[in-house]
Homo-oligomer: A and B are copies of this chain.
Amino acid sequence: MSILVVGSIAFDSIRTPCGAVDRCLGGAATHFALAASFFTDVRVIGVVGEDFLPEHEAVFRARNIDIQGVEHTAGKCFHWTGEYRENMNEAHTLGTALNVFERFRPKIPEAYRDSDFLFLANIDPALQEEVRRQMPRVKMVCGDTMNYWITGHRENLARVLRGLDALLINDGEARLLADEPNLLQAAQRILAMGPKTLIVKHGEYGATAFFSEQSFPGHRTQAFFHAPALPLKDVVDPTGAGDSFAGGFFGYLASQPKVTPGVFKRAMFYGGVMGSFAVESFGTERVQRLTREEIDRRFALFRELSHLDDN
């Protein structure tokens, strides 16, 4: 079934200990859509400027991603400049030029209205809510956010959280949102804010899902589930790893006939798999040339590196 994603399409200028790139294709919606496209149909809502060229469009088209909901407007694309130093888990923002994103008002094409799954990537919660309201019949809504919205736009964010099936954020964001250093207590506070399930991404340490009674009504499950990460020799560029995780996770979910606890757990593993590929090259490079066979091989590796056996 189709996923509709709303979020940024951007150019990123990134420096890491492995090198640097200038203005490579990026943005949360881009990374999410590419990762999810290996599992299901993806439709994108976003805005780009005149510097978004046919060669960038081709990246989406090559993965059969529907971009008729991407608005072309005068000006330049959103441009993020950032740096990772020794600690590759921490991005240092050197510049954010919103450009065309500054006046972005999401419009949903008629052809997108039957989407069953909705992903609200990390943008202004007011916009997330606007999109959510226009899609009242979706089966499942997941979302992301970040420190900037948690700190300065809490009321709008609270309204978004109440409508989410799953919120995907990282440890620092979870602790900030709940104002609580203990992760389990933070998770319980966040679940009380509305999301039925919380997924906390730990970067190189994998991810943990925290379930509520609303996660799988009628199913008995543990209160949490942990998916591993793959130790990688060369983390070239962590940008987009979280969005790729979300894309793998939600893409797999949307491809399955029913969202059971077992499907949800496998989706967490696929999230980790897609995140692990994303960081192997700058920007979208690695995921662009990925194959489904590579994904399935790495899924098997994730299982092997985390599962007990009898030998």
Measured CB to CB, the nearest residue on chain B to A301 is B222
- Which of B222, B233, B261 contacts A311, CB < 8 Å? B261
> What is the copy number of this chain in the assembly?
2
Number of interface residues of A (CB under 8 A): 45
Please determine whether A231 and B235 come into contact, CB atoms closer than 8 angstroms.
no
Please determine whether B86 and A181 come into contact, CB atoms closer than 8 angstroms.
yes
Please determine whether A232 and B184 come into contact, CB atoms closer than 8 angstroms.
yes
Q: Roughly how many angstroms separate A208 CA and B223 CA in the complex, as a whole number?
A: 23
CB distance from A259 to the nearest CB of B (A): 12
CB distance from A90 to the nearest CB of B (A): 12
Q: A269 at the A/B interface (Cβ < 8 Å)?
A: yes
Please determine whether A266 and B308 come into contact, CB atoms closer than 8 angstroms.
yes
Measured CB to CB, the nearest residue on chain B to A175 is B86
Q: A204 at the A/B interface (Cβ < 8 Å)?
A: yes
Q: Identify which of residues 63-109 in chain A touch chain B, using a CB-to-CB cut-off of 8 Å.
A: 86-88
CB distance from A211 to the nearest CB of B (A): 11
**Could you name 14 residue pairs across A and B whose Cβ atoms are closer than 8 Å?**
A87-B181, A88-B181, A88-B182, A184-B231, A184-B232, A188-B233, A205-B206, A206-B226, A210-B231, A224-B231, A226-B229, A260-B311, A261-B309, A262-B309
